Structure 1
Amino acid sequence: MIPIAVPLLADEEADAARAAVLSGWVSQGPQVAAFEREFAALVGAPFACAVSNCTTALQIALAALDIGIGDEVITVSHSFIATANCIRNQGAVPVFVDIEPETYNIDPRRLAEAITPSTRAIIAVHQMGMPCDLTALTALAEQYGIALIEDAACAAGSQIQVNGHWERIGKPHGRIACFSFHPRKVITTGEGGMLTTADAVLDQKFRLLRHHGMSVPDTARHDSPRVIFEQYLVPGYNFRMTDIQAAIGRKQLQRLPELVARRRAVAANYDGLLANFSGLRIPKEPEWARSNWQSYCVRLPDHLDQRRVMQHLLDRGIATRRGIMCSHREPPYISPNQRHDLRQSEIAQDHALLIPIYAQMSENDIHLVLEALRAEFAR
């Protein structure tokens, strides 16, 4: 079986987790703090706050911006449903706009048409690790005085060119960027997430919200020679990362440049080998973007049935996934009054195919995937 993705975990991660366990401190503690510092330094962010996953990161981001009942947040339907759910869970209204067919990312032209007096924020998803057009999005956010949140769940290690300089996704362009460390992402802690920002006030809000609104972290109470009584300053959550996860994350972070380089090599190989498949659309990387290639997504020609192709590949031992889901097609978000046309999002879900990509892929693995696809085109 050639899986859709495989995390690269080795003795270094196992040893780090063991050391955290044996330290006696396994909840949010010194390993989390070190992981935050190292992640912030890598992406070029003044502040980074670790949490339990990217969904909770998005939830905290909205809560820290005081977005709630009656507010509108513009985003894409073409994303994992967590993007929409975190808006709904705040009592706000998700307003879905369409994607660019080449990058599968939010279309800035469609976004501008969706802004109303009730719009409080934009959640721009760097889908499958491909950076959004942050230059256009930040200009719109500034023009209308609304917050830009980057759903960078898939984008650790991706880069964007700003004013002639390459910068990592996570260096603040909007107000907040949110990351995932799920096993299908380029680096993993099993589950886990991170928020980055340049705003010290927002960072302090994140830290309160993730830990029940507690005024004093456990580490401060533990290290103090005097008794400290904490306060609970705001209604908060238990969205903490454990020190075991953070210890693994620190080792994964050291691997990130190598993992991205390997994935980019696999993607380049795919680009060359798939270019001659008639009717197949391969992903397009804008000249101002460097994707980490968290996923490699191809668009099937109309005459090929997505489900049948996926089944035939699975029968040959090759795992795939359908195009990214559309939240507006799921029961909680189905509406006869959908404001904006989402045709490109629906086409992507119905005709796109995610094929295997991971750092450990061999040349033979790649050719097996190619031969299976070639057989489908011949069929």
Structure 2
Amino acid sequence: MRIPFNRYESGREEHGNVADVLEAEDLNQVVQLEDEFASYVGVEYALATSHGTSALHLAMLALDLKRGDKVVCSVNAHPSLPEVVRHFDAEPIFIDIEPQSYNINLDSLETYLEDNQSKKLKAVIVTHVGGLSVDLERLYSIAKIYNVKIVEDASEALGATCNGKKIGSTGADITCFNFSSHLKKNICNGGMLVTNDDEIMERAKLLRNHAIERDEDSLEYIYDVVDIGNNYSMSELEAAYIRAQIKKQDKNIQRQQEIASMYAKALEGTPHITLPDMSNDEHPFSLYIIKVDKNRDSFALELKKVGIECGLHYIPLHLLTYYKAKYSLKINNFPKALQSYQQVLSIPIYGSMSDKEVKYVCDKIKQIAKTRV
């Protein structure tokens, strides 16, 4: 049996939406997606982009990030986060993690902000690893005290909630989504930037298409350029497909939570394996991250041999060649992230997994765990 790390399945609605675009019957899919997404999340504005990284880059543009500015993020994040910051010749600042959730450690964040107050400190980007959020009320309180913007990376938190509100509507200045996130590649790309801030959305809309302005009362080919933007636009075909996918997301999360419970029950007490905390009812389990205390990579290779693909979320940023050299970072600078990195392993979990596939994964994990010494 082969169990991929992720699987996307298309149904009638995806095919129907795409066919409408190909037959030129409905060329307003992007606008419809933006309206539907804003309603789904419960936010005032949603702006579709070509990719999740585009949404993050556009967010930095909307915040008017400049050379020498500083943006704080978790050291346990996808490289796209510090990458978009560096494209502005700004400086990413890394913070260690909370070892149970793998998210940014709010105590460490607050300590850094207290010790490094500066007008150059523009924003904090917070990643919700596996879709599980940090204590958002505390995060927003910290941001208010130290006058920094909060940008949430919700690449793994589509449809996730915190205190009953969907991520994206809980109080961040900007939230960015990715419809083809790291190791969970979709058959199309796409991202979304959401906000309740009129000025941020106005600027993001302008910059999404080369900062081009047109006079609606003039000829269509007459335009002006009023700033430096780029092309971050999503295609109609991508929007058509994603629209149908969004409608299934709540059901997918419900199934992921069922699978997480199945994993927890079947793998309880397995030697050398630590399971994630199941106490938070709102955890969407976009990722199911276990810890392997005996040679994680060897364990993953054994799973691969029996057809089970795994993931890693993430390689800490301070271990990557560019950031290690650029900022003279040492391997022990972020001990909690380092310790977690040496053990964490993401195993398959997604809405279309069958009970048979879940049982197969559990059986093989238990079988391999017995061979660890």
Q: Normalising by structure 2, what TM-score?
A: 0.92
Who is 1:127 aligned against?
129
Picking from 242, 251, 260, the partner of 1:249 is 242
Which whole-Å CA distance do the structure 1 matches of 2:200 and 2:279 have between them? 31
Cα distance change, pair 78–312 in 1 and its aligned pair in 2 (3 A): same
Match of 1:213 in 2: 211
- Residue 317 of structure 1 and its aligned partner are, at CA, apart by 1.0
* Conserved? CA contact 1:326–1:345, under 8 Å: yes
1:346 corresponding residue in structure 2: 338
Which of 246, 253, 257 pairs up with 1:264?
257
User: Is 1:305 aligned with 2:292?
Assistant: no
- In structure 2, the CA distance between the partners of 1:185 and 1:136, relative to structure 1 (3 Å rule), is farther
Deviation at 1:109, TM superposition (A): 0.4
Structure 2 CA distance, aligned partners of 1:328 and 1:292?
A: 28
- Find the aligned partners of 2:24 and 2:96 in 1 and give their Cα distance: 49
Name the amino acid aligned to 1:9. Answer: S
Offset of residue 323 of structure 1: 4.0
1:297 offset after TM fit, Å? 0.5
- Closer/same/farther in 2, CA of residues 76 and 167 from structure 1, 3 Å limit: same
For residues 183 and 304 of structure 2, the distance between their equivalents in structure 1, rounded to whole angstroms, comes to 22
The code of the aligned residue for 2:224 comes to Q
Could you tell me which of 83, 86, 94 is aligned with 2:84?
86
CA distance in 1, matches of 2:25, 2:66: 39
Aligned to 2:287: 295
Query: 1:190: how far off?
Result: 1.4
One-letter amino acid of the counterpart of residue 346, structure 1:
L
Cα 1:323/1:252, change in 2 over 3 Å: closer
Residue 315 (structure 1) aligns with:
305
SS of alignment partner, residue 23 of structure 1: coil
Could you give the per-residue CA deviations for residues 215-257 of structure 1, whole angstroms, max 9, x where no partner exists? 24xxx96xx7x52422211111011100111111111111111
Q: Does the Cα contact within 8 Å between 2:140 and 2:150 map onto a contact in 1?
A: yes
Q: Which residue among 73, 76, 82 is the counterpart of 2:74? A: 76
Deviation at 1:42, TM superposition (A): 0.6
Equivalent-residue separation in structure 1 for 2:258 and 2:44 (angstroms):
31
Whichever residue aligns with residue 359 of structure 1, its letter is: G
Distance 1:368 1:195 in 2: 38
- For 1:150, what is the secondary structure of its paired residue? strand
How far off its partner does 1:132 sit? 2.1
Give the secondary-structure state (helix, strand or coil) at the position aligned to 2:232. coil
User: Shift of residue 362 of structure 1?
Assistant: 1.4
Structure 2 SS opposite 1:50:
strand
> What is aligned with 2:56?
58
Aligned-partner Cα distance in 1 for 2:301–2:354: 23
Count matched residues. Answer: 363
Q: Is the 8 A contact 1:175 1:199 kept in 2?
A: yes
Check whether the contact 2:78–2:182 (CA below 8 A) recurs between aligned residues. no
Could you tell me how far apart the structure 2 residues matched to 1:357 and 1:124 are? 23
The answer to whether the Cα contact below 8 Å between 1:98 and 1:106 also exists between their aligned partners in 2 is: yes
CA drift of 1:83 comes to 0.9
**Aligned residue among 159, 177, 186 for 1:157:** 159
User: 186-195 or 56-65: which moved more?
Assistant: 186-195
Flag structure 1 segments of 5+ consecutive residues without an equivalent: none
Q: How does 1:114-193 map to 2 (within 5 A)?
A: 114-115=112-113, 116=116, 117=118, 118-161=120-163, 166-182=164-180, 188=186, 190-193=188-191
Percent sequence identity over aligned pairs: 26
Identify the match of residue 280 of structure 1 among 270, 273, 282. Answer: 273
Instruction: Output the CA distance in 1 between the equivalents of 2:183 and 2:319.
Output: 25
Partner secondary structure for residue 299 of structure 1: strand
Moved over 3 A (4+): 183-189, 337-341
Worse-superposed segment, 252-261 or 138-147: 252-261
Q: Deviations over 1:298-340 (max 9, x none)?
A: 0112xx1111111111111111123412121111100435699
Distance 2:312 2:77 in 1: 12
Structure-2 change in CA distance of 1:323 and 1:207 (3 Å): closer
Instruction: Give unpaired runs (5+ residues) of structure 2.
Output: none
TM-score normalised by length of structure 1: 0.90
What does the per-residue CA deviation read over 1:121-178, in whole Å, with 9 as the maximum and x for residues that have no partner? 10000112111221111111000111010011111011001xxxx1000115110000
Q: Kindly provide the CA deviation profile for residues 47-73 of structure 1, in whole angstroms up to 9, marking residues without a partner as x.
A: 000001111111111111111211111
- How far apart, CA to CA, are the structure 2 residues paired with 1:14 and 1:133? 39
1:376 paired residue among 359, 368, 373 = 368
- Between 184-193 and 37-46, the greater mean CA deviation after superposition: 184-193
The alpha carbon displacement at 1:284 in A equals 2.3
Distance 2:262 2:279 in 1: 18
- The amino acid of 1:352's aligned partner reads V
* Contact residue 41 and residue 166 of structure 2 kept, 8 A: yes
Q: What does 1:26-65 correspond to in 2, within 5 Å?
A: 30-65=28-63
What is the CA–CA distance in structure 2 between the aligned matches of 1:91 and 1:173, rounded to whole Å?
A: 28
CA drift at 1:371? 1.3
Residues 77 and 313, structure 2, Cα contact 8 Å, conserved in 1: no
Q: CA RMSD in A?
A: 2.1
